[in-house]
Amino acid sequence: METAVAVLTGLYFAVSIYLMLSRHIIRILLGTVTLSTGANLTIFAMGRITREVPPIIPSGLYLPAEGAANALPQALVLTAIVIAFSLFAFLLVLVMRSYQELGTDDTYAMRDAEPEGEPLPPLGY
Amino acid sequence: MAAAERPAIDPADAFVMEAPALADWLIVMPLVIGFIFAALCLMTRKDTRRQPAIAITGLVLILLCVVGLFVHVLVNGTVVMAMGRWLPPFGIAFVADMLGATLALISGIVGLATGIYALREADNTERRYGFYPFLLMMLSGVICAFLTGDIFNLYVWFEVLLLGSFGLLILGSRRDQLDGATKYAFLNLVATTLFLIAVAYVYGLFGTLNMADIARKAAVMDEVGPRLTIAALFFFAFAMKAAAFPLNFWLPASYHTPRLAVGAIFAGLLTKVGVYALLRILLTIFPADRDDLAVAIAVVAAASMLLGAIGALAQTDMRRVLGYLVISGIGIMLAGLALGSATGLSGTAFYTAHSMVVMTALYLLVGIVGAAAGTFDLHRAGGLYATAPWLAVVALVLAFSVSGLPPFSGLWPKIFLVKASIDVGAWWLAAAILVSGFLTTIAIVRLFAFAFWRPAHPDMRSLSLAEVPVARLGLPVLAGLCGLTVIAGLYPEPFIQVSDRIAFELMNPAGYIDAVYAPMPAAAEGAVQ
């Protein structure tokens, strides 16, 4: 099961790197979303995937049964999903605003903060 | 009746039984105060006249807490607090050792300084859009990142401070801000996601997220491969956060676009969180892998310090000169990490503290200079020596300090780092530190010469400080920060003692591990009684 998830995670990372190599902001945005999904799947796989025994402590015992599913990665993934989602929401608005203001989503043309062809600093008075 | 059938449970097996000492609560107080006051500022955001008073009260209280925490750690050693009383490694632990407490202290100082400066800089619109809530959230995030002892929790604080910094960065929504913020946001998001992936691997390999527990397990692990991979991934992610070459391009693209108070707190705190995380992960948790990565770190350090200084030489905008100087400073901090000796780490600790104060002060200074000269352009600024002689004094102090010239605080850590480099025969690293200091001197003294000494440009009229609104509160703040660098330069003994202790603690992670696991014997004793 971990092997299958590992292959899937690898695919996610490959897709995200391909998208992030693009010049266009919207593809980079999709690339980062795919990257965080890949990261979440990595956490999930790292907790070892079992599904036969639910992580519930039987009555009268103090430990879950042998081979029970690991509940901690789910808490970690849940936290990471919430954070990644809020960042995605922020980035989506940021990208839309900068497209409206700058009139482009091409990173080569986004040179407002660092204009091209600036003069050299003065060499003397 | 069901409860009676069960065997008696001894809570001491799972819980810290003793209530933490009153002074130990100081470790969570910056977080509590920061979030409460951020919420209060958010509620009063339309009341733009009263909101700053609330925010400054919060910043002062945070500063008092971190001062108290620093003194507590200085006197009593590492302070640990387990959340929910869960014994380590199960609960999230907050751990303040000397490094964390010192950086938290300086963050408190930097936060208050920029908060006061921003009283005259942030306008009512920016206050309504949440300048102070973002500032308080970001400051709490930074301080908690320095204090947490749990690696996933560190990721959460990185995201908290990242979101706060996004908010501060785009206040105003000018074209260049949106452009800079886009690059800043994407590259930082990728860096934190890489950090998260590394955390996932740590969990997969060690089955724990408590830093002390990971350090314990990593020390007895024979397989180098997976551990080194994780350490390298952490190095990559945090070098990106710290803006080390060749991952530095987001910093000079964004730091000059927002208000100067925002640039100041970014330059003072954000990249240093990356440096702190590198020190913590590569020295406390994976010391063996730091030795394997040392050459790579040294090359990154030398390239950052040289290219940062060269980049600063090529800029015409004063704010962008400072952006490149931040990168150069990061290279110098990484040099100590690459060397790994007591002298080198002591130099890194001292330099990090020095750089946080001085870079903040330089941004605030350039804010006043830009407002008085009417421009940030080196071609057109000038004549400030005539209109603002005291500002010129402050500028010269800061210029000497950032270049590492005596008698200011930049000198001592650079001496340590050069000595540590020569001790291990890394003459090229020592040369890089000295050459970068030389180039920094040229870049920053040129800024001084053009903005202050040169007569005013015929088209421009430079204002006296009485006419510049940011100067009234800005000058006392700058004088305070300058005072710190002068004191640390003239009487470095106590500062060197603290940085030596930081270096000692970093080189002996056993002390950190013992501090986290100390609650156990205490609880066991409680059970016996």
pLDDT given for residue B57 in this prediction = 95
- Decide which of A69 and A25 is more confident: A25
Nearest by CB: B176 against A95, A112, A120? A112
Q: Taking CB atoms and an 8 Å cutoff, what residues of chain A touch B156?
A: 79, 83
pLDDT above 50 for B315: yes
Do the Cβ atoms of A43 and B193 come within 8 Å? no
- Gap from B449 CA to chain A (nearest CA, Å): 9
Q: Are B13 and B112 in contact (CB under 8 A)?
A: no
**Nearest residue, CB atoms, A97 vs list B6, B156, B178:** B178
Tens-place pLDDT, residues B209-257: 999 999 999 988 888 889 999 999 999 999 999 999 889 999 999 999 9
DSSP category for residue B449: I
How confident is the prediction for chain A on average, in pLDDT? Answer: 88
The verdict on a CB contact (< 8 Å) between B193 and A125 is: no
Q: Is the model's pLDDT at B102 over the cut of 90? A: yes
- Residue predicted with more confidence, B15 or B197: B197
Whether residue A43 lies within 8 A of chain B, CB to CB, comes out as yes
pLDDT value at position B184?
93
Q: Indicate whether this model's pTM tops 0.90.
A: yes
Contact status of A75 with chain B (Cβ, < 8 Å): no
Here the tokens at position B332 are 């110098």
pLDDT of residue B63: 96
- The 3-state DSSP class for residue B82 equals strand
Q: Give the chain A residue nearest B454 (alpha carbons).
A: A125
Of A46, A112, A114, the CB nearest to B204: A46
Instruction: Enter the tokens of residue B150.
Output: 């749990």
Predicted confidence (pLDDT) at residue A78 exceeds the cutoff of 50? yes
d(CA B281, CA B374): 45
Nearest to B152 by CA among B86, B199, B87: B199
Tokens of residue B177, six digits: 């801000």
Q: What are phi and psi of B79, to 5 degrees?
A: -105, 135
B chain contacts of residue A90, beta-carbon cutoff 8 Å: 163, 166, 185
CA distance B89 to B150: 9
Render pLDDT for B59-89 as a digit per residue (tens, 0 to 9). 999 999 999 999 999 999 899 888 888 888 8
- In whole angstroms, what is the distance from residue B234 CA to residue B198 CA? 6
* Distance between CA atoms of residues B83 and B56, nearest Å: 28
Which range among B192-196, B234-238, B378-382, B487-491 shows the weakest confidence by mean pLDDT? B378-382
Q: What is the pLDDT of residue A123?
A: 81
When pLDDT is cut at 50, 70 and 90, the band that residue B524 belongs to is very low
CA B229 to CA B204: how far, in whole Å? 13
Residue B373 has pLDDT above 70, yes or no: yes
pLDDT of A118 over the 50 cut = yes
**Would the CB atoms of B175 and A43 count as touching at under 8 Å?**
no
B396's enclosing H/E stretch is: helix B389-403
Per the structure block, which two tokens stand in for B181? 């913020």
Beta carbons of B10 and B526 less than 8 angstroms apart: no
Check CB contact of A87 with chain B, cutoff 8 Å: yes
Mean pLDDT of the region B378-385: 86
| Cα separation, B444 vs B442, whole angstroms | 6
pLDDT of residue B519: 54
Q: Which residues of A touch B175 (CB under 8 A)?
A: 101-102, 112
Subunit contact B454:A46, Cβ cutoff 8 A: no
Q: Which of B48-52, B85-89, B329-333, B372-376 reaches the highest mean pLDDT?
A: B329-333
Chain A CA closest to residue B201: A46
Question: Residue B318 corresponds to which tokens in the numbers above?
Answer: 């004063």
What is the mean predicted confidence (pLDDT) over B373-386? 87
How close B189 comes to chain A (CA, Å)? 8
- Name the token pair of A54: 């639910």
For CA atoms B414, B420, B423, B424, give the dihedral sign. Answer: negative
The residue type at B503: A
What is the C-alpha to C-alpha distance for residues B195 and B189, in angstroms, rounded to an integer? Answer: 10
- The set of residues, in sequence order, having a beta carbon less than 8 Å from that of B368 and lying 6+ positions away, is B391, B465, B468, B470, B471, B474, B475, B478
| 8 A C-beta contact, residue B353 and residue B345 | no
- Identify from A63, A96, A114 which residue to disrupt to test chain B contact, counting B C-beta atoms within 10 A and taking the largest count: A114
* A47, A84, A119 ranked by CB distance to B203: nearest: A47
Residue of B nearest to A111 (CA): B179
> What is the model's pLDDT at position B5?
54
Tokens of B466: 């009485």
Distance CA B209, CA B212 (A): 9
| Pairwise CA distance, residues B318 & B443, whole Å | 10
> For chain B, what are the domain ranges?
14-516
In the DSSP assignment, the letter for residue B94 is E
Contact A39 B197 (CB under 8 A): yes
Q: Give ∠ CA B197-B170-B368 in degrees, rounded to 5.
A: 120
Q: What is the pLDDT of residues A50-69, one digit of tens each?
A: 777 888 888 877 777 777 88
At residue B182, what is the residue type?
T
Mean pLDDT value across chain B: 90
Q: Is the pLDDT of residue B8 over 70?
A: no
Whether A61 has its CB under 8 Å from any CB of chain B: the answer is no
pLDDT at residue A2 greater than cutoff 90:
no
Distance CA B111, CA B364 (A): 12
Count how many pairs of residues, chain A against chain B, have C-beta atoms within 8 Å. 117
User: Between A35, A62, A91, which is nearest B185 by CB?
Assistant: A91
CA-based nearest residue in chain B for residue A100: B175
Question: Which residues in chain A are closer than 8 Å to B199, comparing Cβ atoms?
Answer: 43
Which residue of chain B is at minimal alpha-carbon distance from A16?
Answer: B190
pLDDT at residue B46, rounded to an integer:
85
Question: Taking residues B91-114, what's their average pLDDT?
Answer: 94
Across the interface, whether the CB atoms of A94 and B166 are under 8 A apart is answered: yes
pLDDT over threshold 60, residue B523:
no
Q: Sort out which chain A residues have CB atoms less than 8 A from B184's CB and list them.
A: none
